[in-house]
Structure 1
Amino acid sequence: MADQTITPAMPPPAGQTSNFINPDYASTKFIAVNSVFLPLALIALIVRTWTRLFVVRSFRWDDSLMLSCALTGVTMDMLNWGLGKHMWDVPLSHLTPQFMKLNVIAAILYCAATGFTKCSVLIFYLRIFPSRSFHIAVWSIVFIAAGYSLASILANILSCTPVAKAWDLSITSGHCMNRPVFYFANAGLGIFTDFATVIVPIPWLRRLQMPSRQKIAVGVILAMGCFVGIVSCIRLVTLYKLLKSPDLTWVTTDALMWCTIELNLGIFGGCITAIRPFIRRYFPRLLGLSSGGGYGSSRPRKYGHPLASIPRSDRPDFTNGENQYSATLTTHGAHENGSEEHILVSTPRSARHNKEVEAALEIVHTVEFDVENSSSSAR
């Protein structure tokens, strides 16, 4: 219902009146998205931190979840000041300075968090690809991602002259940049770095000598990065609406919602690398491993390769998948003992009992052994 004592943030369109009591509200989907994607990123980060501290014991602090939590807190508070409502249903006293100030803070947190997330994934690439040319390519993308993220933070802080004009609409002097256009350009650079992060390791991944399962794991990370790029494209569509519509509090809802999805998916993708060693340690059966070996051990495996073995009629062929090794040891002048022996003679069998020939005989010992292999490489 309209209240003549309250000034709306924007005059209502023709045929509509301001409703400050029970207005149209688009907050439900925004709250649902934050309730799903922030815990998803939080759980992934907990797994990653636990794995680094107690499993692989190689902790590196390159996570951006704290910024994501701060962004969620700021945007949820924006709901109290008009986010999700039409501007004609928002009191002017709510829009400025509170909503506008929180909007600037949210933009700063988003730019910083996405920059940290992309750099974290790129630094992970440096740990698994040793190629110098690859490192040059990755550091180039890191420079671009970190550079435009820092520039975006500064642009949001200094978007107006004086700075307070960005949230205080009562200041009539000075000027401000076109924020929707800036957001649009920033999103374009973000999409470029998202897909560059996915594409750059592909040529080296094909040449990398690692087990297929590890390649699949890296491929999943790349697929997650590609999905994040798609989400960025969807967010770009919402920013286009922001360019065209003056209804700031309403159209900003979808833009911030996709920012939340993009950021938390990026954090989740960066934490995928810790899932495999975590499962190997605590849920080995999911990977088909024995449950008693703990991290760094697996079910003993036997490999079969013939090592110049001599075929025997009374023993199976060791090359038929029985996973045993067969080796030969040739000695001269050996005496008989309890081991199994084969006498190789180049003379007729009738001469075997001849002592002169017997001195020239070779005794060949066939040694059979099993090899157990325990892989302990941390993933």
Structure 2
Amino acid sequence: MASALVPPGVDPCTVPSGMPPPGQTWNFDNPVSVASITIAICTIMTACALVFVTARIYVNKRALNLSDYFMIVATVLDLAFAGVIISMIKYNRHQWDIPLCWINGQYMKFLFVNTILVGPALYFSKSSIFLMYRQFFSVKREMRIAIIIGLIATFLIYIPSIPLAAIFSAPRVGHSWEELIITRSIELLIPWGIVQGTVSLALDIYIFILPIPILSKLNITFSKRLQLLAVFATALMGVTASVIALAYRIKLVMSADSTWQQAALWMAIVVENNVAIIVGSMPAFANFIRIYVSETKAFKSLQSMLRGSRNDSSKDIQKAPQGPELATFGSPRPRGPSYYELTDSAIMRTQLTTNDSGVSLNPENGGK
């Protein structure tokens, strides 16, 4: 089909698929490319996400819940999306550095698969976060409503990508994939990408701020409150990734160098999706570190090396008299009714929130 875009007798592999800027010429042999950066980002981000998800599943292996299953599906889709992107790295160059013969039916299939995968991948990862919130904070009616709103919004933002991809980036019955190059119907999805990116950014901000009022009221020590806020504040990374992805979606509309902007957009989406997976797995990962890593000899040796001489000086400090020990959420022995701590996998199976006065509640015990 690329031959239809060039004069008869001209080899489409000798013709660039885009016009270079004034003063530049095309380069098919050793062009500027972001292929290596793409591979690095996909490999590092998916590896990090796999580590966090594996830790989460291991911690919760005896009582997997809907949020866990959603995160597993998100991880599988994320791996597939990253795999497709890596398989397309030869296109990660300027439009004028790509031979016209490369823009073929196979390329259009790649674009279709990417469009199909990205929406569901983001849907399952971010829905898993809301389902996790429901486990933690579902006592208050207002929080339950807010979580339901978040789940519905997530569905409406990402799932429409599937039918839209089927309509605009797949051929009609009896037509070929190469015909899409002529009709350019896939370009009609670009404005939708901006709409999706904008609302997705608002959703990530919503995910970030949703637990903050509850966490600020928890009847725990200030240091533990900071630890909890730090765990959930990892969602701020998702906001940053969404801003970057939206910027490249806008550039894709305004630039004629579509393959270059498209490569940058795909990398931003990889970061966004993997950050969502990491955010959703962060509480369980923190528990995994506390239970299975912090007590190992290697970790304690590393702590001793980092502390250095501070351990010696700390021995001379007289400890203040200690009062009755306080309860620790998920601890093996109860120590009192008032304070709670994010500790082991029990938090993944227990709903924890506060009432208006800041007293911690456990709905499984009738709110007592």
Which TM-score applies when normalising by structure 1?
A: 0.69
The answer to whether the aligner puts 1:203 opposite 2:209 as a matched pair is no
User: What's the offset of the Cα at 1:88?
Assistant: 2.1
Partner of residue 59, structure 1: 64
CA distance in 2, matches of 1:100, 1:140: 35
User: What's the offset of the Cα at 1:217?
Assistant: 4.5
SS of the equivalent of 1:158 reads: helix
Q: 1:184 to 1:173 in 2, by over 3 A?
A: closer
Partner of residue 47, structure 1: 55
* Paired residue type of 1:168: E
* Paired residue type of 2:144: H
The one of 118, 131, 143 aligned to 1:123: 131
Q: 1:262 to 1:322 in 2, by over 3 A?
A: closer
**1:19-45 Cα deviation digits (max 9, x unpaired):** 222222221221121121111101111
RMSD: 3.3
SS of the equivalent of 1:246 reads: coil
The answer as to whether partners of 2:126 and 2:276 remain within 8 angstroms in 1 is yes
User: What's the offset of the Cα at 1:218?
Assistant: 3.9
CA distance in 2, matches of 1:66, 1:324: 47
Partner of residue 321, structure 2: 321
Q: 1:131 to 1:372 in 2, by over 3 A?
A: closer
* Paired residue type of 1:156: A
Partner of residue 266, structure 2: 256
Larger RCO (CA under 8 A, 6+ residues apart): 2
**1:313-336 Cα deviation digits (max 9, x unpaired):** xxxxxxx936589xxxxxxxxxxx
CA distance in 1, matches of 2:130, 2:324: 43
Write 1 or 2 for the structure with the bigger share of strand.
Answer: 1
CA distance in 1, matches of 2:193, 2:176: 15
The answer as to whether partners of 1:51 and 1:277 remain within 8 angstroms in 2 is yes
Q: 1:283 to 1:213 in 2, by over 3 A?
A: farther
User: What's the offset of the Cα at 1:279?
Assistant: 2.6
Number of equivalent positions: 297
The one of 174, 188, 194 aligned to 1:184: 194
CA distance in 2, matches of 1:46, 1:74: 22
CA distance in 2, matches of 1:48, 1:278: 7
The answer as to whether partners of 1:145 and 1:193 remain within 8 angstroms in 2 is yes
CA distance in 1, matches of 2:64, 2:48: 21
Partner of residue 279, structure 2: 269
Partner of residue 90, structure 1: 98
The answer to whether the aligner puts 1:70 opposite 2:75 as a matched pair is no
* Paired residue type of 2:199: L
**1:322-369 Cα deviation digits (max 9, x unpaired):** 6589xxxxxxxxxxxxxxxxxxxxxxxxxxxxxxxxxxxxxxxxxxxx
CA distance in 1, matches of 2:322, 2:84: 63
* Paired residue type of 1:49: I
Partner of residue 132, structure 1: 141
CA distance in 1, matches of 2:176, 2:250: 20
SS of the equivalent of 2:16 reads: coil
User: What's the offset of the Cα at 1:283?
Assistant: 2.9
**1:58-84 Cα deviation digits (max 9, x unpaired):** 21312111111001100001113x2x1
User: What's the offset of the Cα at 1:173?
Assistant: 6.0
User: What's the offset of the Cα at 1:248?
Assistant: 1.6
CA distance in 2, matches of 1:219, 1:32: 30
In the alignment, structure 2 segments of 5+ residues that lack a partner are 1-9, 301-319, 326-332, 348-368
Alignment of 1:92-107 (within 5 A): 92-107=100-115
Which TM-score applies when normalising by structure 2?
A: 0.71
**1:274-298 Cα deviation digits (max 9, x unpaired):** 1233233223449xxx9xxxxxxxx
In the alignment, structure 1 segments of 5+ residues that lack a partner are 291-319, 326-370
Q: 1:322 to 1:96 in 2, by over 3 A?
A: closer
The one of 142, 146, 152 aligned to 2:151: 142
User: What's the offset of the Cα at 1:17?
Assistant: 3.4
* Paired residue type of 1:19: N
Q: 1:279 to 1:169 in 2, by over 3 A?
A: same
The answer to whether the aligner puts 1:22 opposite 2:27 as a matched pair is no
Larger CA deviation: 197-206 vs 179-188: 197-206
Larger CA deviation: 186-195 vs 216-225: 216-225
Q: 1:59 to 1:22 in 2, by over 3 A?
A: same
Larger CA deviation: 38-47 vs 97-106: 97-106
The answer as to whether partners of 2:38 and 2:89 remain within 8 angstroms in 1 is no
User: What's the offset of the Cα at 1:200?
Assistant: 2.1
* Paired residue type of 1:97: G
Q: 1:324 to 1:52 in 2, by over 3 A?
A: closer
Partner of residue 243, structure 1: 253
**1:185-230 Cα deviation digits (max 9, x unpaired):** 1100110110111122222222334565664454224321122112
